[in-house]
Amino acid sequence: MPKISTKLSIYFSLKSLSLFLFLLSTISVVGQTACPGYPSMRQNKVSGISIGNAASPRFKGLLEFTPAGYNPADVNTLYPVIIYFHGLGAAGQGTSSDLCTILSDQTNSLPGRIESGTFQEVVNSGGIDYKFIVISPQYVQYDYGNNNYPSANAVDSVIDYVIANYRVNINRIYLTGMSTGANMVVEYAGNSLARAQRIAGASTASVCSVVGRTPNTNSAPTNIGNASLPFTFIQCEDDSYSCFPDIPQTWYNGILAANPSAGTFTTFKSLIKIPAVLPPVWPPANINDYCMPWGHDTWSLLYNQSYKINGKNLSEFFITYQRNINLPVKLTDYSARLVNNKVYLNWTTSREVDAASFIIERAGANQQFTELTSVRAAGNAITDKSYSVVDDRPVQGINYYRLVQVDADNNKHIHETRKVLNEKVLLKVKVLPNPVSSEVTAYITLSRPQQVSVTITDMSGKVLQMKAGYYKEGSSGISLPTESLASGIYLLRTNGEDFSDIQKIVKQ
């Protein structure tokens, strides 16, 4: 299988971590929900998130599709991910009702194809079945004239969020978009060499973003070409919004000028205008070479699994390519515990390459992270290095602690988040939230170090989720995913060496 090599030791990895926790337990995730015309959705609505500028987030909700068998607690299985950006008509506030516009605005969009079963979700390559995660974030606004639109920085934040919250293979991150969403994809890839190298493939349907016009520089296609980023452009020669083929043609030409070999993995497909007077035989055998009745609509073809360019549909095109990113830091342990009204944070690395520092970020109930403190890293090491930080003044209630690693070139890599419950009276076990949606956390308080296990069972005692580990004295949080559970009542069992606890939880 072809690979795209890069020696950059940048960006994120959660593959080596021993545990995986969803960052925001209060995010509203509603499985098997409905939208008008979609009574039993295959995608989940995720509301209440904040991606981008904390003061004015660009994204507040998303649709998520995870394949059959996906288990967020399975640290050994990683998935390719497609991040899809919608068109202007689907902009919204990320609420449950607003997220439905991602489907209603264009029913043949990628999320619409997922709902109708006409998008290829599993691709076999080299004898391996690759199952896609598909994330469709909803941006709040898109206004070029007032400089109020999701920039490359905002797209970077989306990628950060997806890596932090899903079991993602960071070498198989793919971007795609339609119309204004297509602009976001090409503007991100053209923004810098490092950003183009961060993703493994990209595609646009009806892009309108012009080379050399803000926010693009004249060298934007060069960044894509030098990154050897596989790219597919599809455009109608009679685009209804005057986004004519010369726009992607300029991108394509610039990519090939920077990297002539890119012609083997970069494609520009210009669709033919439907004639004003149809010939006697219509549609012709090559109907897929023609524009749709609405000229701006090329996504109806791009996201249909039966539509192929150079013998491959979009899923097959993407999975052909992957990155080869070397990871700067291997994290083997990260814990947070409350003892005597202080939170002790400890982490260990087994390898560091050009690591400059570690930052601990803290958030309270508002889940807006701010820097608590920073610690200088070892820099380069192949032996275990241990670090510790003490928060002398945790906030009341739940404290979120996020570990961020900074490279020598100032690139940041977000690792896991830990949660600690700070209350005046600490119970042996307190379960939050309840009812649950995507995740439940058992906050345990121990008088001595010991082995602890937390399990979720059905009412008959069948184990559905489990996590076990060795925990030191103090208060710690142990989280389990609940997204895959059907609505109903379950038992959460917490067992230590000197205690046991059973509580009922309700899955909404």
Strand partners, 358: 375, 405
Same domain, 210 and 302: yes
The answer to whether residues 183 and 278 belong to one domain is yes
173 and 91 in one domain?
yes
Boundary of a domain, candidates 393, 422, 451 = 422
Same domain, 90 and 181: yes
- pLDDT confidence of residue 327: 66
Q: Are residues 349 and 487 in the same domain?
A: no
Asked if 159 and 113 sit in the same domain, the reply is yes
The vertex-289 CA angle with 221 and 107, nearest 5°, equals: 85
Same domain, 40 and 101: yes
Is 288 inside any structural domain?
yes
Among 40, 200, 59, 196, which Cα is nearest to 132's? 200
Q: Is residue 168 part of a domain?
A: yes
Q: Is residue 5 part of a domain?
A: no
What pLDDT, on the 0 to 100 scale, is given for residue 75? 66
CATH of the domain at 357: 2.60.40.10
Q: What is the pTM of this model?
A: 0.65
Q: Tell me if 21 is assigned to some domain.
A: no
In a shared domain, residues 503 and 366: no
Q: Are residues 384 and 434 in the same domain?
A: no
Residues 388 and 472 both lie in one domain: no
Nearest to 440 by CA among 467, 413, 409, 408: 467
How far apart CA 370 and CA 392 sit, in angstroms, is 16
Count of beta carbons in the 10 Å neighbourhood of residue 55: 7
Do both 246 and 214 map to the same domain? yes
CATH code at position 435 = 2.60.40.2550
> How does pLDDT run along the chain (508 residues), one tens digit per residue?
344 443 333 333 333 333 333 333 334 554 447 999 999 999 999 999 999 877 788 999 999 999 999 988 776 788 999 999 999 999 999 999 999 999 999 999 999 999 999 999 999 998 999 999 999 999 999 987 777 889 999 999 999 899 888 989 889 999 999 999 999 999 999 999 989 999 999 999 999 999 999 899 999 999 999 999 999 999 999 897 889 999 999 999 999 999 999 999 999 999 999 888 888 888 888 888 899 999 999 999 999 999 999 999 999 999 999 998 766 788 888 999 999 999 999 999 987 878 899 999 999 988 888 999 999 999 888 788 999 999 999 999 999 999 999 988 787 888 888 999 998 888 899 999 999 988 899 999 999 999 999 999 999 999 998 888 889 999 999 999 887 788 999 999 999 999 999 999 999 8
Task: Quote the pLDDT of residue 10.
Answer: 32
C-alpha span between 364 and 55 (Å, rounded): 16
Domain limits at 473? 429-507
Specify the number of domains making up the chain.
3
Write down which residue in 403, 422, 441 finishes a domain. 422
Q: Which CATH number belongs to the domain containing residue 118 in this structure?
A: 3.40.50.1820
Q: What is the pLDDT of residue 21?
A: 35
User: Which of 319, 353, 376 marks a domain boundary?
Assistant: 319
- What is the model's pLDDT at position 16? 34
**What pLDDT, on a 0 to 100 scale, did the predictor assign at position 484?**
77
In a shared domain, residues 73 and 172: yes
